[in-house]
Structure 1
């Protein structure tokens, strides 16, 4: 008995010294901080540092805690390379992009390091273990190249939930990204079974939440995963991995602009692996993967800069998107959906009206019909026969009135093929996969969808991220998300800002829209570009890129 008491004495002394709120994890005291109605615990490690020989390997979960964990400062960010616009952009496009980038959480002053795999937990102040509050587990966006818990705090959402008398716990996870550290592809990566490492990190983090959230007052049986963009794509992939068995790690999902992607096999990324190896000085190594594990982190980051980014010429034909690796994703993601390998849980998925505009800015110098066709064939459908691909160009024509920004007529044509490029890119990565996911699953599990069409006064109009950033800040959509987190139904809360939101089905296609003015919410039918998206989806299923 004396030995047991002596074992816990350091924890007891740490609690006695701490003026801040404290949570006990195993034999460790986690020291947090309170700001108004929200108590936060930042940067609790959930996996061993992925450094030295653990770089480019599967995450190793931390199984026990001892001592004191100072969780009062924003967590260290994983090393990242935020996307940069092309330096030769026309002034009008560059101005829009600068304004856009200032409106989304792309930066933080928190330090960066490879030792970054951590969890941050934010709770209503005063919450005790055993409170059994529902949990929102947040996976941030950033194009699989940037993002962090420091960039995406949940204070506003926790405060809004308190106001609605529906308190929740907000948990966010740092995971590896920037493809040399996490989403590198090629035959060497596939053979070693170390593809999609960021998704593996997320899975380990979700297991941590399941195991430890009760210590913070959360209910491990009431976890909903939520995220925007790359985070939403990650959530869709967490739903289709492991044959659709989610291990009881989450009971609901909310995706802002992201679904299981129409990507193919990870070996198609071989040219990018070879480029990173070359720029990292590992080309002559007998084992290039082992060489990459031991070069300085800055060298690897510099090598990453040699590959085009989201706002560069290829746009959404990105090198770092998750692909079938034979381990986390046993087949192309949309093929897994067709096979029924999907977690049978309620989910919400939505987006903004003009998902493709910001990503089409980098290809502003694609100005002719021939150049557009070459771009699409080279970057999205390189293995598709020309005659099979040809009908797509009749579905996505160069009529500005049919392009994105949508509903603007001939206006906002920033370059001769810009609106066409924006429509295609937004549909191929965001709109069409979302509709495919809904059509495949809405008769099997409860689903809801929305679209943001609030005006932004930008030439790129309602761009990617214009739905998710305000939701994290507590807008009208946030009220639905809080209610869904608590009950698995976005309806039925105490908010006076919401209207009834019907479930989605392939016949009525009911969709919540977020509008401007005195009537900010409306239910409409999601029928835009039905024929075009059906054709695009068919091509992607036959020829995943």
Structure 2
């Protein structure tokens, strides 16, 4: 528990930094873009320029449309505070009765702090070393947040931690983070959306922010030819989809990627979201007009958001069967991302990708009423594999047996069996959403480009959850060794830099993982050969049952 307490302290300290008032200085940094002057703040050795708009506000008739770039900046801009977060879907982590207090504390912390949201939210933030001038050509890391494509905000992450650490390592980088539309506002899906060619708006927001970086980051001292995109969870999945867009042509928008807990998933046509589109139409009174999409654009914000909040979230019973998520629209995503991966239509850039050991435990707190194999079979058939035959389900449940010693949290024996099926469900969900897609992504890419992979087994002693999803965020935004690896990678296109164990590249013939551990030995090199047959079968079922 000492390690857990230390990590909780780091999180609380980071939140305190984010919420603390900015230190006042008589001289504040100014950056000129076009004919506009942006006033930022200086604190702790870094300059921060916050809340910079990178697109026209997606309000009114621009709601549910592709983001539109702004015209040239003119005049003075106060870039001293974060902009609004994009509309957040109301959801809370499932906290069933009987959880140990350490686990409840962890859930309360990672659920984040209340944030102000609204539709006029397409802004980004730049953090740079205070001594850096225009034209310094520093490497750039661009953070894309997670949140199940339903919530999340750039305001929750302090880029100053990354930049200050890069200064200490004498490998200074510039940090950029952006907001993108989430939930129904960013991932509306239906035949109507497909016909109007306005699917995957959140991904288009990210793409436009990356174009902004190419155009303007030099003004902050950054090098547009040295951009590493970096994200976690839905942010990491987003990065993999950016790598698959345009048949793998990244348009020069980024030259490397660092991904935490997220890879190309098996997702279906955008019409798969029709029932939820129809639900919004009904709840907002848009059933009568023939053009329901135009009606939704004009619907009162409060009514539309209330309807969105009434749909299931990633923390609901159906969990990984996301209501709002990227889907195949024939434009941004030409095909199922897993198929595109298998076809090799991936941007040929070096990348790092990793997972936490117990990715599924956090999402399995929503199914604690599933306590028998029959109930588990029904759940999987209803939400994840509706096309699976009885024989296929038999095979899946054989590969993921009821034996709690083989479930997740892994390597914890009979401990953490919160319900008779909890560790089994956690193992299936963790592999289905995270581990199996990561392995497929690497197996289809590692012979064509430089790749590295990691597995975080830290925080294993956290009751019920173990090395849970998002636990590696504590490592990187807490200034841990992942922070150093990120900075080295952004600077050198290689995460190694003389300290710590050598992190070998991942290849199909030698699938080596940097494995992060608790205790006196912080890391080791292991092989990515666990649950091979089970994950191959999960991938087969995923391709046959795109979400």
Same fold (TM over 0.5): yes
Whether the 8 Å contact between 1:124 and 1:162 is mirrored in structure 2 is yes
| 2:68 aligns with one of 60, 64, 73 | 60
Query: Which region of structure 1 is more displaced relative to structure 2, 359-368 or 305-314?
Result: 305-314
1:525 aligns with 2:530: no
Q: Which residue of 1 aligns with 2:477?
A: 472
| 2:98 aligns with one of 67, 91, 104 | 91
Query: Which region of structure 1 is more displaced relative to structure 2, 206-215 or 99-108?
Result: 99-108
Q: Which residue of 2 aligns with 1:28?
A: 36
Aligned residue pairs total: 522
Q: Which residue of 1 aligns with 2:108?
A: 102
SS at match of 1:182: helix
Change in Cα spacing, 1:105 to 1:71, as seen in structure 2 (3 Å) is farther
C-alpha RMSD of the superposition: 1.6
1:177 aligns with 2:166: no
**For each residue in 1:210-255, what CA deviation from the matched residue of structure 2 results, as whole angstroms up to 9, or x when unmatched?**
1100000000100000000000000000000111000000000000
| 2:54 aligns with one of 46, 70, 79 | 46
Whether the 8 Å contact between 1:38 and 1:124 is mirrored in structure 2 is yes
- Which 5+ residue runs of structure 2 have no aligned equivalent? 1-24
Q: Which residue of 2 aligns with 1:126?
A: 131
Whether the 8 Å contact between 1:104 and 1:469 is mirrored in structure 2 is no
1:157 Cα deviation after fit: 0.8
Q: TM-score, normalised by structure 1?
A: 0.93
Q: Which residue of 2 aligns with 1:167?
A: 172
**For each residue in 1:267-296, what CA deviation from the matched residue of structure 2 results, as whole angstroms up to 9, or x when unmatched?**
111111112222222233322211111112
Q: TM-score, normalised by structure 2?
A: 0.93
Q: Which residue of 2 aligns with 1:274?
A: 278
Whether the 8 Å contact between 1:105 and 1:151 is mirrored in structure 2 is no
| 1:315 aligns with one of 315, 319, 331 | 319
Q: Which residue of 1 aligns with 2:453?
A: 449
1:390 Cα deviation after fit: 3.1
Distance in 2 (CA, whole Å) between partners of 1:96 and 1:312 is 22
Whether the 8 Å contact between 2:86 and 2:122 is mirrored in structure 1 is yes
Q: Which residue of 2 aligns with 1:406?
A: 410
SS at match of 2:99: helix
- Which 5+ residue runs of structure 1 have no aligned equivalent? 1-16
Q: Which residue of 1 aligns with 2:463?
A: 458
Distance in 1 (CA, whole Å) between partners of 2:477 and 2:114 is 16
1:63 Cα deviation after fit: 3.0
Change in Cα spacing, 1:98 to 1:282, as seen in structure 2 (3 Å) is farther
| 2:367 aligns with one of 351, 359, 363 | 363
Query: Which region of structure 1 is more displaced relative to structure 2, 518-527 or 277-286?
Result: 277-286
Q: Which residue of 1 aligns with 2:193?
A: 189
Whether the 8 Å contact between 1:364 and 1:418 is mirrored in structure 2 is yes
Matches within 5 A, 1:495-534: 496=499, 498-534=500-536
1:398 Cα deviation after fit: 1.1
Distance in 2 (CA, whole Å) between partners of 1:457 and 1:21 is 43
